[in-house]
């Protein structure tokens, strides 16, 4: 692999949500700040929505790590496609009710209430974080709302953070869920990265991985990745990783536009710049004619590849 070639300690553009690579980019930092302020003020429901690949799970893991340093008990449900009963049992296990799987459902709710009161008396607060919340069955969302009715005279016993794709907004807009929608006091929509932000993202992740040289990605390469990925972090990672592999294979030390174009042509779900499509067609041709060489030279002279 290219790690040693570029003087890195680890792969910089993996798809796993490694919080070591969480960067203070505007959209993600704003979302994290909002979450921490909202949780600090004791609000009941908080919602974060973002398109596929915009970094919701990374933000979710970062929030969990941050709350580990607070007087807080966190319950994390990564797969919420659960029945109401299974949702309650998962929550109970997360907050420390060890025999939650054995208790009758009616008794389980009482035990959850007692445990939440116990946590509050210890001067701590409880946060339930649900990832991929758009997958929750409607009856389970209603069960969650009813569970949040557990409260003292002065405060909620636990808070809920919902992370989901835009389909979550469609789900919560149903008339049958209007009571829960009214309880969402803060919401945030993750945005894709701008061209400038993609450049910072590429360099910062490379540096976090141990790269110590000058700019690893040339400006044309960075802009090409931004354009093809539409600023979606997951696609940025895929294209950057493949571009590094391409440069490594050629023995190059800087990522150039031609490396990115090879990555684009090898990746589904990205925008293929017009020149990339032309080059792909020409390179696939079996005959290297004079017109091919002339066109390739013309493109190179104008910095198109």
Q: What is the pLDDT of residue 292?
A: 47
Overall average pLDDT of the 63-88 stretch: 94
Q: What is the pLDDT of residue 24?
A: 76
Q: What is the pLDDT of residue 122?
A: 93
State how far the Cα of 186 lies from the Cα of 266, in Å rounded to an integer.
40
Q: pLDDT, tens digit, for every residue of 153-202?
A: 667 889 999 999 999 999 999 999 999 999 999 999 999 999 999 999 99
Overall average pLDDT of the 19-37 stretch: 89
Is the CB of residue 232 less than 8 Å from the CB of residue 209?
A: no
Q: What is the pLDDT of residue 271?
A: 74
Q: pLDDT, tens digit, for every residue of 254-303?
A: 999 999 999 999 998 887 765 444 445 444 443 444 444 554 444 444 54
Domains of the chain: 26-189 (3.40.50.300), 195-271 (1.10.8.60), 273-305 (no CATH)
**Residue 36 confidence (pLDDT) above 80:** yes
Percent of the chain, pLDDT > 90? 75
**Residue 12 confidence (pLDDT) above 60:** yes
State how far the Cα of 52 lies from the Cα of 230, in Å rounded to an integer.
12
Predicted model pTM: 0.84
Is the CB of residue 105 less than 8 Å from the CB of residue 85?
A: yes
- Mean model confidence pLDDT for the chain: 88
Task: Name the more confident of 241 and 157.
Answer: 241
Q: pLDDT, tens digit, for every residue of 192-224?
A: 999 999 999 999 999 999 999 889 999 999 999
State how far the Cα of 162 lies from the Cα of 177, in Å rounded to an integer.
14
Q: pLDDT, tens digit, for every residue of 106-132?
A: 899 999 999 999 999 999 999 999 999
Task: Name the more confident of 240 and 22.
Answer: 240
Strands (E), 117-174: 125-130, 158-164
Q: pLDDT, tens digit, for every residue of 58-73?
A: 999 999 999 998 999 9
* CA distances to 201, 246, 250, 263 from 3, in Å: 18, 13, 15, 18
Q: What is the pLDDT of residue 26?
A: 83
């Amino acid at each position: 692999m290219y790690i040693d070639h570029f003087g890195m300690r680890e792969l910089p553009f993996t798809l796993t949500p490694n919080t070591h690579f969480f960067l203070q980019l505007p959209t993600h930092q704003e979302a994290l700040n909002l979450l921490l302020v909202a949780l600090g003020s004791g609000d009941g429901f908080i919602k974060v929505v973002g398109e596929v690949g915009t970094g919701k799970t990374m933000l979710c893991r970062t929030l969990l790590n941050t709350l580990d340093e607070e007087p807080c008990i966190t319950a994390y449900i990564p797969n919420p496609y659960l029945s109401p009963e299974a949702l309650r049992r998962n929550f109970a296990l997360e907050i420390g009710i060890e025999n939650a799987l054995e208790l009758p459902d009616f008794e389980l709710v009482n035990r959850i209430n007692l445990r939440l009161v116990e946590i509050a008396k210890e001067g701590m607060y409880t946060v339930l974080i649900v990832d991929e919340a758009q997958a929750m069955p409607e009856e389970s969302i209603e069960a969650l709302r009813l569970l949040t009715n557990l409260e003292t005279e002065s405060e909620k016993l636990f808070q809920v953070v919902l992370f989901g794709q835009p389909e979550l907004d469609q789900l919560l807009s149903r008339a049958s869920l209007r009571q829960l929608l009214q309880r969402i006091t803060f919401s945030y929509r993750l945005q894709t990265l701008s061209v400038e932000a993609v450049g910072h993202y590429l360099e910062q992740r490379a540096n976090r991985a141990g790269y110590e040289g000058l700019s690893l990605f040339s400006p044309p390469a960075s802009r090409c990745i931004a354009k093809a990925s539409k600023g979606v972090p997951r696609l940025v990672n895929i294209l950057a990783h493949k571009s590094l592999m391409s440069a490594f294979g050629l023995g190059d030390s800087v990522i150039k536009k031609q490396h990115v174009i090879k990555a684009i042509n090898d990746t589904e779900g990205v925008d293929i710049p017009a020149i990339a499509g032309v080059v792909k067609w020409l390179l696939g041709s079996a005959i290297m004619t004079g017109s091919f060489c002339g066109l390739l030279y013309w493109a190179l002279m104008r910095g198109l590849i």
